[in-house]
Amino acid sequence: MKASELFDVAGLAVIVTGAASGIGYAYADAMADNGARVVLVDIDRAGLDQAVAKLKARGGDVRGAVADVTDRGALRAAFDRAAGELGRLDVLFANAGIDSGPGFLGMTGERAADGAFETLAEERWDKVIATNLTSVFNSIRAAVPHMKRNGKNGGRIIVTTSVAALRPEAIVGTPYMPAKAGAAHLVRQAALEFAKYNILVNAIAPGPFITNIAGGHMRDPEVAKAFGSAVPLNRVASTDEIQGAALFLASRASTFVTGAELVIDGGVMLGRAD
Ligand code: NAI
């Protein structure tokens, strides 16, 4: 089969959460640029307007929906509206997420009190679990009824986890780890339950990408260097480097892939090269 057919997403009805920025925007961009019809969901109205305008200017069939993924009612209403407008729902990227503040070690190896297990703010724990884990549950639940209506065509659910789901890390805030590991396992559980409906559920687990997360700290060359030094490819990634995985998991290139976690990390999980 030709690559253009294998990876074809033209006409698919797609929702991307956390699409105003970073990895979510890159997913929306990859879908829209290849002819999918995309609803971008985000809490940040101004960022969303800009993202939608940018994709529209390039001819994308896109629209925006402001919603907080931690607000079950608002999320479901946004998904129902999106599926109504698009006439169906084929693909969901459950991507919205936040950082969890400092880890227990700072960039230069010093102990950081506000990231320490015993003293980190409980509100931070609650917010990170709600945004990075419970929102995935909310999003899958809001998408599945629409995908079931597609009959044997089913649907695709792609969750952004992280290498943090696979191993702990001292310089990243503690709540992020169980939130992402939980999301990764939720992907497996959902893949098992929804296989019957041909709804394929997979995760993309990025290593360090330059986005606006944590106030865009990865744009600081010192921070990028610190994260990049743990990567065998010796650099952090730009968001266009996630787009191949997105096209793969949304298209017929991956019809027999479910419950997988596709690690896009420049080799981070291999350990240090030197
Ligand atoms: P980003 O900050 O550039 O984009 C995240 C988007 O999600 C923003 O537009 C933000 O407004 C939106 N968002 C945050 N909370 C929301 C909420 N409650 N409701 C709706 N939208 C909300 O960050 P990035 O890096 O693109 O993050 C995307 C996903 O990738 C997250 O799940 C993150 O944990 C994950 N990730 C990022 C990595 C990185 O190095 N940048 C590495 C591994 C995973």
Angle, helices 176-194/135-148, rounded to nearest 10 degrees: 20
Q: What is the pLDDT of residue 202?
A: 99
| pLDDT tens-digit profile, the chain (274 residues) | 999 999 999 999 999 999 999 999 999 999 999 999 999 999 999 999 999 999 999 999 999 999 999 999 999 999 999 999 999 999 999 999 999 999 999 888 899 889 999 999 999 999 999 999 999 999 999 999 999 999 999 999 999 999 999 999 999 999 999 999 999 999 999 999 999 999 999 999 999 999 999 999 999 999 999 899 999 999 999 999 999 999 999 999 999 999 999 999 999 999 987 7
Q: What is the pLDDT of residue 247?
A: 98
Report the nearest atom of ligand 1 relative to the CA of 236. Answer: 40
Q: What is the pLDDT of residue 46?
A: 98
- Helix, strand, coil share (%) of the chain residues, nearest 5: 50, 15, 35
243, 27 contact by CB (below 8 A): yes
Q: What is the pLDDT of residue 68?
A: 98
Q: What is the pLDDT of residue 226?
A: 87
Q: Rounded to whole angstroms, how far apart are CA atoms 237 and 264?
A: 9
Q: Rounded to whole angstroms, how far apart are CA atoms 232 and 248?
A: 24
Q: What is the pLDDT of residue 38?
A: 99
Among 21, 138, 158, 231, residue to substitute to test ligand 1 (most atoms within 8 Å of Cβ): 21
**Active-site position among 21, 100, 176, 251:** 176
Q: Is 100 a catalytic residue?
A: no
Residue ID of nearest Cα to ligand 1 atom 41: 209
* The two three-digit tokens of residue 233, written as one number: 């490819």
